[in-house]
């Protein structure tokens, strides 16, 4: 056992407790110190995650937790994404009586997300699922409005339902395997009733798809994207997906060949197609991004479906996750910068005199579409190649067709931004500088990851 192998996770968890304790001893209207504590622990977790990523792959706690390239990349992505969310949240939560609680809940959910990605045992997977889920319910409901309450209740009910399905699936698998560790799961399941194995694997996958926000557990995503604070919506539609999709990949790879892969492939196509079709009719940018999230998870599940059948699957998945975190954050940050623009039509002329805002939104939306040289373009090519290499050419075709379909609604948002209209400063308002800076940094990172994708790929596939 090497407890130091989980030092980044420990720092995230302790950081959440320290942030909450700091907020308890600081005046409610002066919570900047609690934010500083959270950012400090995130920085420490990021440094230790980078050091761990440079080391050899190992495991911890009797091989129930994998410390490998996938876990290392997830650690870094969660840290970067969480830092961006905390900075994005400042205009919304600054001075709020629950400011420190917001930071602490984000840190706790991030801890669960990382553990979810590294879990190599079904029992650890259950614990990580609830650690990542329970803080999320509170985050969504913190806005205290009718829409936030509805989104929080919907998220809670679906989380409870799919959490039960996950535990039922683990029970079935354990009942026929006599163990829960991924390392020996395939061997233990040899000779087991295939119907029971398939049912158990399917139920565990369905439970994880709640965290990912994929069909059929997607109903909470658009409501959460629209009803709560923009920062909480950014977090809910971005960070949990990182851990959940990697967890799906590990599960598909651990189960006997062909048990869960076809189900994940079908749900991947269902998610990308339903998400794109629903987004076509949306008039609000936040709800549009919520349905966009459902479709993006579909693309992310493509390499997970190819687990064990293609060496390209894991690096393609990790590249896509890196691209998605920064690109989706950039889109939500633009929304936070101009919160009075609640409909796509309100963005008409929004780019006039605001090159940073217009450029960030252009990069973010064309990035989510998958336009070169953004990171998602490289990622979509990679996941399509992984599907093709795994013998699932139809999945690669589905990615292409859905990408073309998504062009319609992304352009519906982009086009009005560059319309030639005369708007006075008094009528337009002043953009929030913090979220605008986050949008610019995230958009720049999306382009940078795209341009440096070859370097990133070589690191991920290095022996």
Strand partners for 121? 181
Q: How many CB atoms lie within 10 A of CB 327?
A: 30
Is residue 162 a contact partner of residue 217, using CB atoms and an 8 Å limit? yes
The Cα angle at residue 128 between residues 292 and 209, in degrees rounded to 5: 30
Which carries the bigger pLDDT value, residue 24 or residue 242?
242
Region 333-357 average pLDDT: 89
pLDDT > 60? residue 427: no
Instruction: Note the pLDDT of residue 424.
Output: 47
Is residue 329 a contact partner of residue 85, using CB atoms and an 8 Å limit? yes
Note the pLDDT tens digit of each residue in 101-119. Answer: 999 999 999 999 999 999 9
Copy the structure tokens of residue 91.
């205009």
Q: How far is Cα 7 from Cα 238, in angstroms, rounded to an integer?
A: 23
Q: How far is Cα 337 from Cα 436, in angstroms, rounded to an integer?
A: 5
Instruction: Note the pLDDT of residue 162.
Output: 97
Percent of the chain at pLDDT > 70 equals 97
Q: How far is Cα 304 from Cα 311, in angstroms, rounded to an integer?
A: 12
Q: Look up tokens 């796509």; give the residue.
A: 344
Backbone angles phi, psi at 67, to 5 degrees: -115, 85
Which carries the bigger pLDDT value, residue 242 or residue 416?
242
Backbone angles phi, psi at 295, to 5 degrees: -70, -40
Mean pLDDT rounded to a whole number for the chain: 92
The Cα angle at residue 310 between residues 308 and 316, in degrees rounded to 5: 105
Rg (CA), the chain: 21
Region 424-441 average pLDDT: 76
Q: How far is Cα 112 from Cα 421, in angstroms, rounded to an integer?
A: 47
Task: Please report the beta strands in 329-420, taking only residues with DSSP state E, as ranges in sequence order.
Answer: none
Is residue 375 a contact partner of residue 453, using CB atoms and an 8 Å limit? yes
Is residue 104 a contact partner of residue 150, using CB atoms and an 8 Å limit? no
Which carries the bigger pLDDT value, residue 137 or residue 56?
137
- Maximum pairwise Cα distance, the chain: 73
Q: How far is Cα 243 from Cα 141, in angstroms, rounded to an integer?
A: 22
The Cα angle at residue 86 between residues 81 and 91, in degrees rounded to 5: 135
- Cα 121 to Cα 56, 72, 92: the distances in Å are 20, 18, 39
Is residue 191 a contact partner of residue 149, using CB atoms and an 8 Å limit? no
Is residue 244 a contact partner of residue 298, using CB atoms and an 8 Å limit? no
- Write down the H helix ranges in 63-121: 69-93, 99-118
Least confident range from 25-34, 97-106, 136-145, 168-177: namely 25-34
Note the pLDDT tens digit of each residue in 31-81. Answer: 889 999 999 999 999 999 999 888 888 888 888 999 999 999 999 999 999
Instruction: Note the pLDDT of residue 211.
Output: 95
Backbone angles phi, psi at 181, to 5 degrees: -75, 135
Copy the structure tokens of residue 249.
């990949």
Region 147-155 average pLDDT: 95
Instruction: Note the pLDDT of residue 253.
Output: 95
Full 3-state SS string of 239-290: HHHHHHHHHHHHHHHHCCCCCCHHHHHHHHHHHHHHHHHHHCCCCCHHHHHH
pLDDT > 60? residue 1: no
Q: How far is Cα 94 from Cα 87, in angstroms, rounded to an integer?
A: 11
């Amino acid at each position: 056992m090497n407890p130091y192998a989980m030092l980044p996770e420990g720092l995230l968890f302790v950081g959440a407790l320290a942030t909450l304790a700091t907020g308890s001893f600081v005046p409610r209207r002066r919570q900047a110190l609690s934010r500083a504590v959270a950012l400090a622990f995130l920085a420490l977790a990021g440094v230790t995650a980078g050091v761990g990523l440079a080391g050899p792959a190992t495991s911890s706690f009797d091989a129930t937790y994998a410390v490998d390239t996938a876990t290392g990349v997830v650690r870094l992505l969660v840290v970067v994404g969480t830092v961006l969310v905390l900075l994005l949240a400042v205009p919304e939560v600054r001075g709020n009586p629950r400011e420190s609680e917001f930071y602490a809940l984000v840190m706790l959910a991030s801890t669960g997300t990382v553990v979810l990605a590294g879990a190599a045992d079904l029992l650890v997977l259950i614990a990580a699922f609830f650690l990542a889920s329970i803080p999320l319910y509170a985050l969504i409901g913190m806005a205290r409005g009718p829409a936030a309450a509805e989104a929080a209740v919907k998220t809670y009910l679906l989380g409870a339902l799919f959490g039960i399905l996950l535990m039922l699936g683990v029970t079935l698998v354990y009942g026929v395997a006599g163990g829960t560790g991924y390392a020996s799961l395939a061997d233990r399941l040899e000779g087991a009733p295939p119907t029971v194995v398939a049912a158990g694997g399917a139920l565990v996958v369905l439970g994880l798809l709640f965290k990912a926000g994929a069909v059929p557990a997607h109903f909470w995503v658009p409501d959460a994207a629209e009803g709560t604070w923009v920062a909480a919506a950014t977090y809910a539609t971005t960070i949990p997906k990182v851990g959940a999709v990697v967890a799906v990949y590990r599960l598909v790879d651990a189960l006997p060949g062909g048990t869960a892969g076809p189900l994940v492939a079908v749900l991947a196509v269902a998610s990308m197609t339903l998400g794109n079709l629903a987004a076509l009719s949306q008039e609000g940018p936040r709800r549009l991004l919520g349905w966009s999230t459902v479709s993006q998870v579909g693309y992310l599940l493509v390499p997970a479906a190819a687990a064990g059948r293609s060496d390209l699957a894991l690096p393609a998945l990790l590249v896509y996750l890196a691209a998605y975190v920064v690109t989706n954050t950039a889109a939500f940050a633009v929304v936070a910068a101009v919160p009075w623009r609640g409909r796509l039509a309100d963005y008409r002329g929004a780019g006039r005199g605001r090159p940073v805002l217009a450029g960030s939104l252009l990069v973010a939306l064309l990035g989510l579409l998958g336009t070169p040289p953004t990171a998602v373009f490289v990622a979509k090519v990679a996941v399509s190649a992984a599907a093709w290499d795994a013998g699932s050419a139809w999945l690669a075709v589905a990615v292409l067709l859905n990408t073309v379909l998504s062009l319609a609604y992304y352009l519906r948002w982009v086009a009005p931004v560059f319309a030639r209209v005369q708007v006075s400063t008094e009528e337009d308002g002043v953009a929030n500088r913090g979220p605008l800076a986050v949008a610019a940094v995230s958009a720049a990172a999306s382009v940078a990851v795209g341009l440096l994708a070859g370097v990133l790929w070589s690191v991920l596939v290095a022996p």
